[in-house]
Amino acid sequence: MSATTTPPELTEPAGSSWTATVTAPRRGGDRWFGLASHGAGVAVVALVTLVGVFLVSQAIPALSKNEANFLTSREWSVGGDNPRFGILEMLWTTTTASIIAMAIAVPIGVCVALFITEYAPQWLRRPAATLVDLLAAVPSIVYGLWGLIIFRPVVRPLEDWLSTRLGWLPLFAPTGITGGTIMFIGVVLAIMILPIVTAISREVFAQTPTTHKEGALALGATRWEMIRTAVLPFGKPGVISAAMLALGRALGETIAVTFIVSTLAAGSDWTWSMLSGGETFASRIANNAAEFDSPQKTGAFIAAGLVLFILTFVVNAIARVVIERRKAFTE
Amino acid sequence: MSATSAAETAEARGTPLSRLVAARRAAYRADVVTDDPPQLTRGSASRRLTDQVARVVMWASFGLAMVPLVWILGTVVARGYELLLASSWWTLSQRNINAADVGGGAVHAIQGTLIQAAVTAAISVPLGIFTAIYLVEYGRGRLARAVSFMVDILSGVPSIVAALFVYAVWVTTFGFQRIGFAVCLSLVLLMIPVVVRSTEEMLKLVPNGLREGSYALGVPKWITITRIVLPTAFSGIVTGVMLGLARVMGETAPLLILGPYTKSIATNLFDGYMPTLPTMINQDRTEIGLDSAMERMWAAALTLILIVLALNLVGRWAARRSSVRR
């Protein structure tokens, strides 16, 4: 803006008091607005605190009546005068399925992100990114249906083959489970978390300084060598945090797992096999929603929910720490 | 970070890049000594092979990622589209229609889903935007750190835990019924962090010069925020809200615990059960042997995908129109 167009209102009118006419009447609005935003912040803090307090206070009475060890027992009978329940089996299923999902989704997700940022022709980059994001837009209940009805029969022969060839390994020991196995849950979860891994990795890869990339190429590096020496080292913290956020999502996924999971009969033998069934925290809670009729039963399920909450919290916290470190480095 | 400092830090840390630099220097010297022309564009055969393999792997990964997308969408469309073409799907409910019967519609479930999403948004959008304004424009010190931390926790809360919490408060403690509004409360818990984080990102992108210019003209802070900062970030905020809505609409876990299904139209959030698309799918899933129920289930799934997809598209469209971008 040139000097000749300086708005005349800027000069103080003669004989008027600037502060009195302009600032004073608006101070009230300022105060209310500030109060509202502070209030919203405080409300969020209060809300999360409430969640914690309520869950703990509901879980404690049930836990104190529990006659089995909560952490190491595989039983789950929450009713009656002598409730016996533990989380060992759910913990095993939840973590194993999530780790399988990570083992599949992280490498593929990183490759897809590299494809979108480095390999795809320019015209394809945006549509490709949108298509992968579409996977995240599919509601999880649809994954559950598709997994249960369409995908399960396809994976089944593969699992049979694994158990006949590698059955001597405890991980692939045949179990006779025909419904959703832990491995199958892992595969479906992998598809569900793939867009998360891809989206975050894509963003950090795109931020690789062009000087690094051009430097590598100018030294005669092939495209892959450029990625290995410039893009991947730069994006590593981002990929780690992406993997952690995805893991948090996989641990807590409810409805798709509830649809495809095979519930084991009470008292069945312990097995290390990934081809066995078993419930995750979320699916057990969702499957037994009808049982929430007494505070004691509800409390037991809330205790399981608390463990899930702590698990996802720890995983997310790790992701945050990695992201913060990276910020400190780049900015 | 400037370009030179980036290269320097890379070298100082002994990154692969600096090792590559060293290797190429050595190779260049060797070339000079033996009087061979330096090979600048073509590496050795094994390096070129690795490069080709990597290229194939990247394309294959993308292809692999597209398989489930095409498969899922294809399945849902192929099995569910017929019912959607009938006008009754959009005008009738499932009242007095048994699982084995054909007919009826999904308007009760569509209405329920939309009403719950609207009420969820009405609660969480103002709260989320004000929280983001607090974090960006006001927040200093301890409270701001606490708020930011709590939002992080909230964004990691699994939907089933949010549902359990509302159940513990609403049903176990206060003894209320499982009504539509209780579902909304648990969805609010899931939507707030999405709105806060995306709004916060957008507000941070608004150039400080705009704020300073406004203050310099004597405009009070709250008018600066409502007239300058929020309009500048508006489409970005809309995007966040749309994506948040898309997420909560597809949520099923809270509905399983707090919102039992019913076949009739129910629009009262505060009385009686309220049907939604996810619970309708869940209901028909239990009748897995019946063709009529299966068709209805896929059709409901397709309807849900279409609604969620529409919200996503609106969100993306708003992001593209945004005056501030990442």
Whole-angstrom distance, CA of residue B121 vs CA of residue B128: 10
Q: Choose between B52 and B97: higher pLDDT.
A: B52
- What does the pLDDT look like over A141-185, one tens digit per residue? 999 999 999 999 999 888 888 888 888 888 888 877 777 889 999
The reported pTM is 0.84
Structure tokens at B109: 């479930």
Structure tokens at B322: 């945004």
Quick check: B9 pLDDT over 80?
no
Mean pLDDT of the residues in chain B: 85
Classified as helix, coil or strand, A313 is helix
Whole-angstrom distance, CA of residue A176 vs CA of residue A163: 10
**ipTM of this predicted structure:** 0.82
Segments of B86-242 assigned E as strands: none
Q: What is the pLDDT of residue B243?
A: 83
CATH class of A87-330: mainly alpha
**Contact (CB<8Å) A38/B138:** yes
CA-nearest of B174, B165, B184 to B115 is: B184
| A positions 1-20 inside 8 Å of B (CB) | 10, 18
Whole-angstrom distance, CA of residue A37 vs CA of residue A31: 10
- What does the pLDDT look like over B84-119, one tens digit per residue? 888 889 888 888 888 778 878 899 999 999 999 999
Whole-angstrom distance, CA of residue A257 vs CA of residue A184: 10
Quick check: A210 pLDDT over 60?
yes
* Residue-level length of chain B: 326
- What does the pLDDT look like over A216-232, one tens digit per residue? 999 988 999 999 999 99
Where exactly are the structural domains of chain B? 3-81, 91-321
Q: How many helices (H) and strands (E) does chain B have?
A: 15, 0
Q: Choose between B66 and B95: higher pLDDT.
A: B66
- The helix, strand and coil proportions of chain A, stated in percent and rounded to the nearest 5, come to 75, 0, 25
**A187, exposed or middle or buried, with CB in 10 Å at 0-12, 13-18, 19+?**
buried
**Residues contacting residue B157 through CB under 8 Å, at least 6 positions apart:** A51, A252, A309, A312, B189, B190
**Contact (CB<8Å) B73/A138:** yes
CA B292 to chain centre: 32
Q: What is the pLDDT of residue A62?
A: 87
Mean pLDDT of the residues in chain A: 84
Interface test with B, best of A37, A47, A50, A57 (most B CBs within 10 A): A37
A221 touches chain B (CB under 8 A): yes
- What does the pLDDT look like over B165-187, one tens digit per residue? 998 888 888 888 888 899 999 99
Lowest mean pLDDT among A125-129, A186-190, B93-97, B129-133: B93-97
Residue appearing with tokens 């995007």: B239
Q: What is the pLDDT of residue B325?
A: 57
**Contact (CB<8Å) B7/A30:** no
Whether the CB-CB separation of B249 and B113 falls below 8 Å is answered with: yes
Structure tokens at A97: 């399925």
Structure tokens at B263: 């076949």
DSSP letter at B40? S
Quick check: A25 pLDDT over 80?
no
Whole-angstrom distance, CA of residue B100 vs CA of residue A20: 76
Whole-angstrom distance, CA of residue B9 vs CA of residue B22: 15
| A positions 281-310 inside 8 Å of B (CB) | 281-282, 285-286, 289, 292, 295, 298, 301-302, 305-306, 308-309
Name which of B62, B192, B316 is nearest A128 (Cβ-Cβ): B62
- What does the pLDDT look like over B189-208, one tens digit per residue? 999 999 999 999 889 888 99
Whole-angstrom distance, CA of residue A310 vs CA of residue A306: 6
Where exactly are the structural domains of chain A? 87-330
How large a percentage of chain B has pLDDT more than 90? 38
**Contact (CB<8Å) A286/B253:** yes
DSSP letter at B137? I
Q: Which fold has domain B91-321?
A: MetI-like fold (1.10.3720)
B72: nearest CA in chain A?
Answer: A146
Q: Which residues of A touch B138 (CB under 8 A)?
A: 34, 37-38, 41
> Across the strands, what pairs with A85?
A76
CA-nearest of B168, B154, B189, B254 to A54 is: B168
Q: What is the pLDDT of residue A213?
A: 92
Whether the CB-CB separation of A188 and A260 falls below 8 Å is answered with: yes
Whole-angstrom distance, CA of residue B272 vs CA of residue B265: 11
A228 touches chain B (CB under 8 A): yes
Whole-angstrom distance, CA of residue B133 vs CA of residue B135: 5
Residue appearing with tokens 């836990």: A63
CA-nearest of A283, A144, A143 to B286 is: A144
